[in-house]
Amino acid sequence: MSNYKLVKNAVGRLVPDSINGEKATPFMGVGKFQPKGKKYSRQISTNADFPDDGNKQVEDLKTALLKAGLKDGMTISTHHHFRNGDLVANQIFKIASELGIKNLRWFPSASFPCHSPILEYLEDGTIHHIEGSMNGPLGDYASKGKMKGMAVLRSHGGRYQAVQDGEVHIDIAVIAAPTADSFGNCTGDRGESACGLLGFALADSEFADKVIVVTDNLVPFPCYPWQIQGQNVDFVVKVDQVGDPSKIVSGTTQITKSPDRLLIAEMTTQFVVDAGLVKDGFSFQAGAGGTALSFGIYLKDYMVENQIKASFVRGGSNKYLVEMLEEGLTNYILDGQTFDLEGVRSMRENPNHINTNPFVSYNYHSKGNVASMVDMVILGATEVDLNFNGNVVTHSDGRLLHGIGGWQNCLFSKCTILPIPLFRNRIPVIVDEVTTLCGPGELIDVIVTERGIAINPLRKDLIEATKDSKLPIKTIQELQAEAEEICGGKPAKPKLGEKVIAAIKWVDGTVIDCVREVL
Amino acid sequence: MSNYKLVKNAVGRLVPDSINGEKATPFMGVGKFQPKGKKYSRQISTNADFPDDGNKQVEDLKTALLKAGLKDGMTISTHHHFRNGDLVANQIFKIASELGIKNLRWFPSASFPCHSPILEYLEDGTIHHIEGSMNGPLGDYASKGKMKGMAVLRSHGGRYQAVQDGEVHIDIAVIAAPTADSFGNCTGDRGESACGLLGFALADSEFADKVIVVTDNLVPFPCYPWQIQGQNVDFVVKVDQVGDPSKIVSGTTQITKSPDRLLIAEMTTQFVVDAGLVKDGFSFQAGAGGTALSFGIYLKDYMVENQIKASFVRGGSNKYLVEMLEEGLTNYILDGQTFDLEGVRSMRENPNHINTNPFVSYNYHSKGNVASMVDMVILGATEVDLNFNGNVVTHSDGRLLHGIGGWQNCLFSKCTILPIPLFRNRIPVIVDEVTTLCGPGELIDVIVTERGIAINPLRKDLIEATKDSKLPIKTIQELQAEAEEICGGKPAKPKLGEKVIAAIKWVDGTVIDCVREVL
């Protein structure tokens, strides 16, 4: 028996009207939902309850969790600054399981294959459900309909928005920090486990009832520069190792070697050049995918040749962006997440490598953010449909295997480009209708494939600007037809059950789509 | 007719039970008041209501104020980063007065003699009352009983606490910024009007309904490093000049030339040395007064001679602290306010000159702050009484002429020392009972005068540590007797009326004392 009704939202998707017993608002269109009420705020605390000498260290993580009042049904948050190298989240739920705690909501900023031990705690009832991107095994588990509650996927900005707006109340936040002092000031940019930044934990530090900092590098006060402020921290725990920073280079953050994808990256670069978007003082963001990274390299070559300097580039930073900064091709990197150790080094050493967070970059319930000021953004997708709607979370077989990351937030850039292969494993990527609608087509401007480029008809300006381009500009229908001819038809329909296993939130907290159980 | 009753608080002072019609809580003792409820939070905003390109610039200050909804009875905040060189606050109320707006509450972080034009707007009803420290003419005006409402004085930390806790709801914050971008990111550390930092405006940027940034140096996005984040800003205004930074060196921030005060500074230094407080890794804060500055110089000499390095020093920074940092005598300056242009330069150039704010340093309704971690703090006072209670706001004649600054917040240091002259203008500074009780004696540890040092009997550890010192350690009663003998008796009682003209808040928002009209 489901405890929700399905209702049709503004993009025609049937979405649940409630999620795990709480009322949900269907997506109303981009910029249409007007938030009401005040931001969430936590209980007023007093320094009288904290040590005068500022030392908040407690014996171990279990002690900290118990002092923080860990109990059944709580929401526990963690963060993915170590990506696939996180060593803290699993420990939390091991402790909780041993204590017999049940029905926790795990609220990670993202989960990775390294979190597969969590499956045990989903099975034994320690965790009721996960709210956060699930890359790999946990998504697969949810896709089988096995998770007790409904998953909720949000973008990085949507996660900040949800916490800020009180949609998700975090009882205990646990922040894994490569360097910290005993007051709780902490940072990701130095220490043996340096992973770059801790921005995904900012909302948690500001809004969670209790905040625990776990570090393997305790330094004397003040740990400066600090990325998270000790004034928001309750307890500090020293452990042997918080994470393996070599694993931040994982999955989607390696450059492509595929000739097709290199071609796509080259065509994408030529497109932004032909469209007149690459000029002094411009800005861009390229996501973590291999094609996007290659785009950055081609773009850099063009900038060097033509002596063009960017105002800023947005990271996910990596060694290629760092080179651009160090070679004077951009004034700043505005970074949200370091994707390799060169990014970590640059963030630590270069004052123009700016440490940002989802409040600065992505929060839609704010007074503006950086995302909408970026001239062009290069993103990936698992599917795009004829209305330019994009999917980033499910495969064509319906399985939920990827997170949203900053993808939805980035769609607000002035020109959103998806360089994607026309097909993967002989399955066309351009489809009649995306399996899961993560981003509305009105925000997706250009699709670049190895066989041609489609410009969203809404972007008459881009069509006009590139009318003399030598690039193979086609309609999206033409691209779809080519893919289907090569692959022998449309992708098979996924075999889905009735049960909604995950809700996909839009940047404003409304439900843009949902994911069903795969049979 | 007064609309309040007077009630006795935990230090025996009669204080109003309501302030300008709102219920007030009498001081209950240090650390005794337990705050209830949640922090204030403002209305959730949405980026849909802000320009995609991030440009929030409007024509002029009047336009910004009107767009922000300026109307009768609102609370308007400004900040004293320019101290006596502020050029913005007066403009705001000139505009309001010309628009016929009435009964505003002005909520500056402090006011100075440069704000004497505000007298006109108090007279014509534009401003109902001032909440904030009043240095000079505005305090004198209030002392005469002429202000319509009751003034409220808070420490820097108390101001943050009041805003955070929702005790003061700011309708419109106006932040004068030496450098800003059109998105609202701004900073005080550079630009022609560079004044150092903008930390006093942090609470306002986070909690005010509408935030206006006024700058005379508009730079391309991103204005980085930023001290105030554009994500909290509604409007940006460009003007010719926001302030005169040469005037941040004003009043209390010049080194003393008085032989007596130099002696006091020297004795203070000898005291902290004899008490064993000056050792590797120690920390100190010396306030803005001339004696405190001289203490810093003597202390530095001692540190150099004995090869002692501080962990951090707290500013108000000035050229002497900057020298210490640059000569390697301290790892960090944790700065709350730059007191001269060398401080401004260092903050801009030296990454170990840390830009803090009242949230980091002083907010008592937090999870700890820096103030209680400082080993020793050197502060001034207008009066001290036999119970070691201190007064910083009124003179013995009862006139309210000074602000609290960070004074109350600093009392939480591990050793609070007041180096003060035994008398001023032949009026003894040690009195039976302070005219206004700003800080309870239990937090004031040592009084250093030119004729002897008194240690608070509560600090048995300090008495023990200095028992072999050659310094003239006496009781506070002995010091008082000497002063009275020299001056020919106790100070004359001030001639006060019944009317309460100002409430003095403690760091937790309770009322520790009040100031009466001077007849």
Smallest Cβ–Cβ distance between B367 and the set A221, A231, A360 belongs to A231
3 state DSSP class of A132:
coil
Are A277 and A382 contained in the same domain? yes
Nearest-Cα distance to chain A for B44, in Å, is 5
Tokens of A207: 């809004």
- Asked whether the whole model's pTM tops 0.80, one would answer yes
Residue A277 domain-assigned?
A: yes
Size of interface A-B (CB pairs under 8 A): 178
Q: Which chain B positions have a beta carbon within 8 Å of A36's beta carbon?
A: 44
Confidence of residue A102 (pLDDT cuts 50, 70, 90): very high
Are B202 and B271 contained in the same domain? no
What pLDDT does residue A252 have? 53
pLDDT tens-place string over residues A5-49: 999 999 999 999 999 999 999 999 999 999 999 999 999 999 999
Smallest Cβ–Cβ distance between B50 and the set A35, A41, A368 belongs to A368
What pLDDT does residue A315 have? 85
Largest CA distance in chain B: 72
Q: From the candidates A38, A44, A359, which should be mutated to test the interface with B, based on the most B CB atoms within 10 A?
A: A44
Taking residues A320-348, what's their average pLDDT?
A: 94
Interface of A with B in 348-407 (CB under 8 A): 351-352, 354, 359-360, 363-370, 372-373
Interface of A with B in 208-267 (CB under 8 A): 211, 220-222, 224-225, 229-234
Smallest Cβ–Cβ distance between B373 and the set A39, A53, A414 belongs to A53
- The partner residues of A38 in beta bridges, in order of sequence, read B43
Nearest-Cα distance to chain A for B39, in Å, is 5
- What is the enclosing helix (H) or strand (E) of B237? strand B235-238
Are B394 and B315 contained in the same domain? yes
Residue A280 domain-assigned?
A: yes
Residue B478 domain-assigned?
A: yes
pLDDT tens-place string over residues A42-59: 999 999 999 999 999 999
The verdict on A39 touching B (C-beta cutoff 8 Å) is: yes
Side chain identity, residue A312: F
Confidence of residue A198 (pLDDT cuts 50, 70, 90): very high
CB of B517 closer than 8 Å to CB of B497: yes
What pLDDT does residue A287 have? 74
Smallest Cβ–Cβ distance between A48 and the set B31, B183, B233 belongs to B31
- What is the enclosing helix (H) or strand (E) of B123? helix B118-123
What pLDDT does residue A245 have? 86
Residue A15 domain-assigned?
A: no
What pLDDT does residue A253 have? 57
* CA-CA-CA-CA torsion sign (A181, A182, A187, A191): positive
Smallest Cβ–Cβ distance between A229 and the set B225, B311, B360 belongs to B360
Q: Cα B451 from chain centroid?
A: 29
Residue B25 domain-assigned?
A: no
Q: Go through chain A and tell me how many residues it has.
A: 519
Are A326 and A208 contained in the same domain? no
Angle at A228 between CA A223 and CA A234, to 5 degrees: 90
List the single residue in B with minimal CA-CA distance to A348. Answer: B351
Cα dist from A494 to A150, A151, A387, A400, A516, whole Å = 20, 20, 20, 12, 10
Residue A238 domain-assigned?
A: yes
Nearest-Cα distance to chain A for B164, in Å, is 9
ipTM of model: 0.96
What pLDDT does residue B3 have? 85
Are B339 and B373 contained in the same domain? yes
What pLDDT does residue A254 have? 65
Taking residues A293-315, what's their average pLDDT?
A: 94
| E strand spans, A356-429 | 376-378, 383-385, 390-391, 416-419, 423-424, 427-428
Are A341 and A235 contained in the same domain? no
Residue A222 domain-assigned?
A: yes
- Say if strands B330-338 and B416-419 run parallel, antiparallel, or are unpaired: unpaired
Tokens of B313: 């020093």
Domain boundary among A203, A225, A247: A247
- The partner residues of B133 in beta bridges, in order of sequence, read B110
What pLDDT does residue B254 have? 64
Contact A47 B367 (CB under 8 A): yes
Contact B369 A184 (CB under 8 A): no
CATH number at residue A446: 3.40.1080.10
Cα dist from B64 to A225, A368, B69, B172, whole Å = 35, 17, 9, 10
Q: Which chain A positions have a beta carbon within 8 Å of B356's beta carbon?
A: none
Side chain identity, residue B314: R
Are A63 and A86 contained in the same domain? yes
What pLDDT does residue A257 have? 79
Q: From the candidates B367, B409, B416, which should be mutated to test the interface with A, based on the most A CB atoms within 10 A?
A: B367
What pLDDT does residue A292 have? 83
Please count the structural domains in chain B.
2
CA–CA gap between residue A473 and residue A76 (Å, rounded): 48
Tokens of B488: 């020919």
Q: Is B492 exposed, middle or buried (0-12, 13-18, 19+ CB in 10 A)?
A: exposed
- What is the enclosing helix (H) or strand (E) of A135? none
Q: From the candidates B27, B44, B312, which should be mutated to test the interface with A, based on the most A CB atoms within 10 A?
A: B44
CA–CA gap between residue B293 and residue A350 (Å, rounded): 34
Are B369 and B447 contained in the same domain? yes
pLDDT tens-place string over residues A128-144: 999 999 988 999 999 99
CB of B298 closer than 8 Å to CB of B264: no
CA–CA gap between residue A372 and residue A391 (Å, rounded): 20
Tokens of A413: 């850039």
Range of the domain at A119: 53-131+168-247
Domain boundary among A247, A264, A279: A247
Are A236 and A331 contained in the same domain? no
Q: What is the mean pLDDT of each run of 10 residues along chain B (519 residues)?
A: 88 98 97 97 98 98 98 98 95 98 98 96 98 93 97 98 98 98 97 95 98 98 97 98 84 71 95 98 87 90 97 91 96 93 94 96 98 96 97 95 95 97 95 98 98 98 97 98 96 95 98 97
Q: What is the DSSP track for A81-125?
A: TTGGGB-SHHHHHHHHHHTT---EEEEESEE-GGGTTHHHHHHTT
Are A467 and A488 contained in the same domain? yes
Are A391 and A281 contained in the same domain? yes
Contact B354 A222 (CB under 8 A): yes
Are A95 and A187 contained in the same domain? yes
* CA-CA-CA-CA torsion sign (B310, B410, B201, B210): positive
Residue B218 domain-assigned?
A: yes
Q: Cα B484 from chain centroid?
A: 31
Q: From the candidates A367, A370, A373, which should be mutated to test the interface with B, based on the most B CB atoms within 10 A?
A: A367
Q: What is the mean pLDDT of chain A?
A: 95
3 state DSSP class of A304:
helix
Domain boundary among B195, B229, B247: B247
Contact B372 A332 (CB under 8 A): no
Interface of B with A in 411-430 (CB under 8 A): 412, 414
pLDDT tens-place string over residues A246-303: 888 755 556 677 889 899 999 999 999 999 999 999 999 987 777 888 899 999 999 9
pLDDT tens-place string over residues B340-365: 889 999 999 999 999 999 999 999 99
Confidence of residue A89 (pLDDT cuts 50, 70, 90): very high
Q: Classify residue B180 by its DSSP letter.
A: E
Q: Cα A267 from chain centroid?
A: 26
Tokens of A115: 């979190």
Helix A319-326 crosses helix A341-349 at what angle (to 10 degrees)?
Answer: 30
Contact A44 B52 (CB under 8 A): no
Nearest-Cα distance to chain A for B375, in Å, is 10
